[in-house]
Amino acid sequence: MHLNIAVVQFEIEQFAPEKNLAKAERFIQEACTQGAQVIVFPEDFLTGPLPGRIDLADFDQRYVKRFQELAVKFGIDIVPGSIIEVDDNGLYNTTYYIDRSGKILGQYRKINLWLTERRYLQPGRQAIVCSTRFGKIGLAICWDLAFPELFRAMIMQGAQIVFCPSYWSYEDAGVGQRHNPDSEALFVDALCTTRAFEQNIILAFANTAASLGASAVQTTPLGHSQITVPFKGPLQRCDHNREMLFVQTVDTAILTDAETAYEIRCDLKKGLPLTPASMETFSPSITHPQSPA
């Protein structure tokens, strides 16, 4: 099966959700003119990270409802980046898979929170895979990419394609920048290729673009949005951090060839190589540090 995936490397206007939504609609329209069937946006792209502005968190799912309307309007499936949402237990970093009829097929709450997120967000607890007209779709968010256990959990539920909205910056390396200023770009590129090969998946990674400039968040998004597959690695990658959209055709038949070559999924079904028994019905119950009061 051939599938046209649009990836948006989006420059965020910090704390301006309506402006970002208006620009997102323009990107969706452009993707449709290029024949895209699914479009994915970056993490936190509607508002930017929210420390100090929790009032912008979504208390009534108004943002996801807007994307449901856009999916119907343009007849395209949407992974709407990620949205900071609120329920009775606190705030969660959440993404969705919305089909072209506006139906929510999957909702995922980020399990592996980045260091700064742990101060104000709660972690999710469950790997999510949903059935779509394009096959089984898994969802991950940013720092999840560094945890192969989550991806194993998704492929054991049959995931073939994983969408990963991200907000990944050069400064995330911290002291590591002394060793290599481009270390995070190297890290992201390596992870995307590795996840595609080791998990036998098609991975669509959408990161933020350019600099947020004078804002409450002094970071430099590294870009490097990409789609990676087994055997080939990146089919298309932004080797920069400028805002752009690209549409890439992927052929899911490559996953059949990868399974023929490596038998990864077959071995996992047999319990090989040795894995914890809980992986058979893996639903992550990951222990996280307690958030400070």
Q: Give the 3-state secondary structure of residue 78.
A: strand
**Cα 177 from chain centroid (whole Å):** 24
Task: Report how far residue 71's alpha carbon sits from residue 277's, in angstroms, rounded to the nearest whole number.
Answer: 40
Q: Which of 11, 117, 142, 164 is catalytic?
A: 142
Q: Are strands 202-206 and 2-9 parallel, antiparallel or unpaired?
A: unpaired
Q: Give the 3-state secondary structure of residue 205.
A: strand
Q: Which of 13, 110, 130, 192 is catalytic?
A: 110
Annotated active-site residue 73? The verdict is no
Widest CA span of the chain, in angstroms? 53
Question: Phi/psi zone of residue 171: left (φ > 0), alpha (ψ -120 to 50 degrees), beta?
Answer: alpha
User: Token pair of 36, please?
Assistant: 């895209």
Annotated active-site residue 103? The verdict is no
Task: Report how far residue 10's alpha carbon sits from residue 27's, in angstroms, rounded to the nearest whole number.
Answer: 9
Q: Which of 13, 43, 117, 184 is catalytic?
A: 43
Angstrom CA distances, 22 to 15, 53, 101, 169, 183, stand at: 14, 21, 20, 24, 33
Annotated active-site residue 43? The verdict is yes
**Unique residue bearing structure tokens 């007209």:** 133
Catalytic residues: 43, 110, 142
